[in-house]
Chains A and B, each alone.
Chain A
Amino acid sequence: DAMVIQNPRYQVTQFGKPVTLSCSQTLNHNVMYWYQQKSSQAPKLLFHYYDKDFNNEADTPDNFQSRRPNTSFCFLDIRSPGLGDAAMYLCATRRTTGRTEAFFGQGTRLTVV
C-alpha cells in the first residue's frame, strides 16, 4: 500500500497559471519535505516542515509556496509557473525519532506550456 501519495502523477499547466501539487501520507510522520528534481540532476530541497514549523531554503524562489493544514497533507503552490519550473516534484516524509529514512512519493511531473 502506498504510504506517501502524490497527486497528480502528471500535471500540465500554462505559463503563468497557478498550480497546486498535493502530497498525503498515512505514516503519521512529523517531517515533510518538498524537492524539485530536474532531468539528470539530484533532488533540490525547496522547503520542509517539522510539524507545523515551516523551513524555507534561502534559494527557493518566492514563486513557490507551501501549506500543511494537518499532519497528513502538504501542498506545493506555484503561483506563476515559468518554463524553468518544469521538473519532477518529490514529496518525502520522515519521523524524527530513531534512525529512520525518508519515504518518497512517486512524484508529480510538471510540464509548463
Chain B
Amino acid sequence: GQNIDQPTEMTATEGAIVQINCTYQTSGFNGLFWYQQHAGEAPTFLSYNVLDGLEEKGRFSSFLSRSKGYSYLLLKELQMKDSASYLCAVRENTDKLIFGTGTRLQVFP
C-alpha cells in the first residue's frame, strides 16, 4: 500500500530555519516532489529529488534518502509569506503522483 507521512503542523519565527520531514512507503519510486499551497489556491512546485542527496534552490533545499524512504524540505530565512501548507508527493513507476498528508507551517513575527 501507499503511505506518505508528514507532521500535521509546525510553527517557526521569521528569519529562522525550519525542516519539514516526509517519510514514504510506496509501490515503486520514480521521484519525490515538494509543493507549497496557500489556502484556497492550487499547489505550486518547489523542488524535485530522484537521486539521493540535497537539491538547493535559493532559500529552499530538499533532501532525499531512497534507502530510508525519507525526505525533508529545508526553508531558510523564513518570511511571513512562507506561512502555507507544504505537500510531499511521490511519483510511482505507474506515473501516479500521490500526495502526503501535508504540513501546515505558521510563521510568526
Contacts and interface: CB of A to CB of B under 8 A. Distances in A.
Contacts of B40: 88, 109
A36 B13 CA distance: 32
B96 A55 contact: yes
Contacts, number: 53
Interface string A11-35: 0000000000000000000010101
A74 interface: no
A92 interface: yes
Nearest to A109: B40
B98 A45 contact: yes
Interface residues of A, number: 26
Interface in B51-109: 87, 89, 94-102, 104
A105 interface: yes
Taking each of B40, B87, B95, B99, which has the highest tally of chain A beta carbons within 10 Å of its own beta carbon? B95
A90 interface: yes
Given A33-B97, A45-B97, A99-B50, A90 B42 contact: yes
Contact of A43 (B43, B45, B94, B95): B43
Interface of B: 31, 33, 40-45, 48, 50, 87, 89, 94-102, 104
